[in-house]
Structure 1
């Protein structure tokens, strides 16, 4: 990821390659702490069985030690640190020099910024109109939901609705899509309450009806595959309309197997 430096702070990035052995990360963090420095951010990157990458942001705001001095100290831990360098910057942005694939449950993932998702969601609405846009996004999400089931649930033989909910919770939390804060299972329906759902959050004060079509489609495709039942998903509450969270009602059609 890239990291934005707040004003009046002296944050410096370091890119390290560490031996993949017990104690390597602890040795690095202990050395940094011994100089009264705090690690602001940390991420790792698998490189091989014997080594891994480490990208850290260190706060030098009130420090008397210079970044170059810490760099030299880190180079001295030769038992654990195979290489270390300062991370590049562009104005107020620090970013890692090494490309690293983002992994979500063993499957490659990508990050989409607000610029990406607003451009997609709002751009489609402007060009296609509300009705066609909602149908297009729902169908797109439905296909994604079915594929999500195939890649994450089917390979783990998840068929129980409770396990399916837990997996769905893990996936949207891990991807930064939102947080399932509560759910209720009844005889013929499931209620999901999702906080900070990105699709609706970016459309606050811009719509006059529940705004989720893409994620509603994903929920439909995913849980239809889990239950093997026909179902309908309605968004009953939406943060785009001022509600505290988004609430989805999943109505199961008993005895109606999906195909």
Structure 2
């Protein structure tokens, strides 16, 4: 079985026997074209004998400032933090340095970032409990029609996203599918595999592994995907330039190892 690689983007750090301290470094725009910028910064940290427990850098953009956030374990070496900051501030490509200390409980929860972006677009993070509460509360309040509304929300989002991805892909539809697949994965919704696409016949089979949505409903014995099923259907609809129907034939929620969707254009006479 393939190992699932996960990325924890949280900034909350608590060390059993340590003291996490966050160092937020703002680099000048020209640092992007300079060699050894990160190397020199980390060398100063290593010389201070402060173990790095977390390292995060912003996506570089030419002409814009660069940001780096380093969390070190300063247990028993608190005095070295101020010395380190002075050294880093002296580097020619550094514009500013901020320090974040843990609370009395020893947990570092502060984040230096005011806005979260994904590939230049404003974003937000929904952790599993939040998404689960949203989906279940919505379905309970709206009733049986709730699932249809969630599906249609996904469908519209999928179509709009595909049109944006077409711009990125230079109007190449196959490339736009790849962009959609990569953005979907990067957003934490799961991993997509396009098993079969027949544009002429208006049919497609798509699999989603590690579905964020369907993991909310383990072992309920029936397909549970609405939102993600809608997104995938929206992609294929935009690809075919036709409205589509979608049926989930396999689902994590009923014990299958992945979710699978069979999609066809509504004006196509072929049956599922």
TM-score exceeds 0.5: yes
Pair 1:123–1:89, CA change in 2 (3 A): farther
Deviations 1:87-134 (A, max 9, x none): 254443433234133133x322221222321121011122222x2111
Q: 1:226 deviation in Å? A: 1.8
SS state at 2:181 partner: helix
Task: Tell me if the contact between 2:24 and 2:69 (Cα under 8 Å) persists in the aligned partners.
Answer: yes
Please name the residue that 1:100 is paired with: 115
Pair 1:252–1:47, CA change in 2 (3 A): closer
Task: Tell me if the contact between 1:145 and 1:217 (Cα under 8 Å) persists in the aligned partners.
Answer: yes
> C-alpha distance in 2, partners of 1:7/1:17?
25
Q: List aligned pairs for 1:43-62, cutoff 5 A.
A: 43-44=57-58, 49=63, 51-60=65-74
Structure 1, unmatched stretches of 5+, are none
> C-alpha distance in 2, partners of 1:192/1:89?
45
Please name the residue that 1:192 is paired with: 206
Please name the residue that 1:33 is paired with: 46
Normalised by the length of structure 1, the TM-score is 0.82
1:121 paired with 2:135, answer yes
SS state at 1:110 partner: coil
> C-alpha distance in 1, partners of 2:205/2:17?
44
The CA RMSD measured in Å over matched residues stands at 2.8
In proportion to residue count, which structure has more strand? 1
Query: Which of 264, 268, 272 is the equivalent residue of 1:251?
Result: 264
1:132 paired with 2:145, answer yes
Please name the residue that 2:5 is paired with: none
> C-alpha distance in 1, partners of 2:165/2:79?
44
Deviations 1:151-198 (A, max 9, x none): 2224644343x3233112111111111122x33225443322222211
Task: Tell me if the contact between 1:47 and 1:53 (Cα under 8 Å) persists in the aligned partners.
Answer: no
Give the number of equivalent residue pairs. Answer: 248
1:19 paired with 2:15, answer no
